[in-house]
Structure 1
């Protein structure tokens, strides 16, 4: 059985073009007959985040039969079954479908292959249904944003997948720094330890964003809409949201970005210090951080410039527009 879903409300991670297998768009839930009700619950719970989500009844060769037709399999079964039935099919992490297993009670969501290529994404989505994502990829375990995850947030794709081993190690060691943006036409010569990201669409503006702790989704929505309206722009002009690492876990911002279909990139303090904006900031005096909204907008913009200086909305959310 299959269910095709409307992608209008899906998150950025599910909408970005998937030339290198970095996101999951077409999902198959593999379930035993007795677990079909749970499979239907999963479709109802997260199906609108994907282009399509099918339910396949388990039999011994089901993975082999459908291998290559889906970005990710959700195995509604013990992890050992999924591992034994797919081990001989695995060839290359950039081409293989991802696999995430979940138990019948939706207690655990465990990516077992392709964590950075769809399985972590699916596990995160299953968390909205109560499952605990059991991430074992190093960058997620260290609460850092690996290059594949940065590519998703930037609506880009990795051109040279083998390079991510070296660059993600640099992420773990805090040695990678911000992604460099290069406008063409140019020819670029890189070594094997340089990851190249290619944008999936034309450059737009970046919303640099700071907030008070606990600002809610609607406050972010209102702030972004007003900032764009004052600049004679709309949400289709926005590439992504930029902020500082100290604000990267703001639930209201993350939820608002997901509803807008945008990714979030977070910059370290040391990076933002090199891109301070023109408006004085109290955070500089109080905690030593430059103003997050302007500095992150400048750091993230393709021209490292401000289109609109920061404005504070509802005494809760600060927004600047970079380009």
Structure 2
């Protein structure tokens, strides 16, 4: 499969002046983020401590990197990762004064195009060194959308011959090729063949496949993915057609979540798009094998043929009628032009339930950033969407107030069911007192069948209890539990039962939703219950505004905890009977809960100078 790259650039600045240019380029380009070195650059979207480590992390993610720095910094930092040029994302060096834009890596994966755009913004000439681009103005190994090179292994020898002076005969129609400066001749020694056929090509013949074929498929529920794949490849082979000429995999909308269909699209490296039954039924007069049985089952007379024909439109034709295996079918349509799949039907909707962590960008998981960059819509509480900063730019925002949780999830599911890619944004971790559980609860109610066809993924975040624990030491070092003190959704009787059980079990406890303006007695009651089972001097930690402006950590005794010390922005950690404080020289303290390693230590009588166990007290160990 073709390597996928994230072309939302990371503009990496190492100095304050570099950050000014990075911000200017990001704003002019209309996408991306400014990444700045901590301690040198302020007010950036993403901060980092180690330059080389950060560059390598971006490179491994497939991010486009625009370094506002010397080219040598990028070369030295990324050279250990270079192995296959087909797997390199775009990497560019831009002079800090804006006088030069140099694509270093991934020239035919977007770096050259990005360099041209940025150089126009800076009103300078891009320093593109790719020979074929400079000489001919096009890159045959990086054709435009809707085209694929059939024999990339022969490209190097082919283009070398062209650069040496050989002319090229164009066999077929490709306007973008004619628009370049290739030495086209009817008597060319080399051939550039444009075809949907499976032509092998050679060092003297490059094959270009336009995406003019539509692959319509159908299958039984939970059909084996290999069966569908085998059927399709055998059909293409019999007809002498290249898989690289397939524009997309098309089917009826009820198959959007079918594993075999999605796996086939991924294998062919093409989109999967889906049509409503009514839309497919319009193709009935053009079907070669209409079926009343299929109509009774799904509401149209043909899934695979109907899908193939709908994709190519009225000007296209059914090139291959329905072919079938035991549990799958396929048909092939042909268009006279490249098929623009993004305008056809809809994709399988995606819903990502993401957690921002406590609030600070540096506590946000890189996977969350990657996911949010790729979605079309953001749904969440207004404040959470604001915390995304530049990541939210260019997205359709659907902001709601506190208390509208179910509405948020419904909107997110509705948008995803329409084929959109949606991020449902939560604070902390989405699976801990957040929207992930409600998402699955609504699915479980079975209100809408199309919700169940949405591809749902939960992306974790750092929870408030993890953040508070890390700030104060390691109070969660042994068994712990979390309890929400809000009785809006859970009866107080159930909460009180859990409080007693946790207190008797001597768990470290994290209290969520400890108080609100109308609800304060619950925390006071919780303290009373805990004092019945653990010492009055048990450490209590109050983490407020974690990861945000005004963050504070307070440590007090259990018998000192009162509701007026806490608000809804506070997470409360109550230690167990074994939790301990360590006083620091500045007057603050660490808190930790030991796991019992001290008890284990007496098993070892002595160690050698390397730290290896030399002798074990066998009797004690037994």
TM-score for the superposition, normalised by structure 2: 0.27
Larger Rg: 2
Which structure is higher in RCO with an 8 Å CA cutoff and minimum separation 6?
A: 1
TM-score for the superposition, normalised by structure 1: 0.49
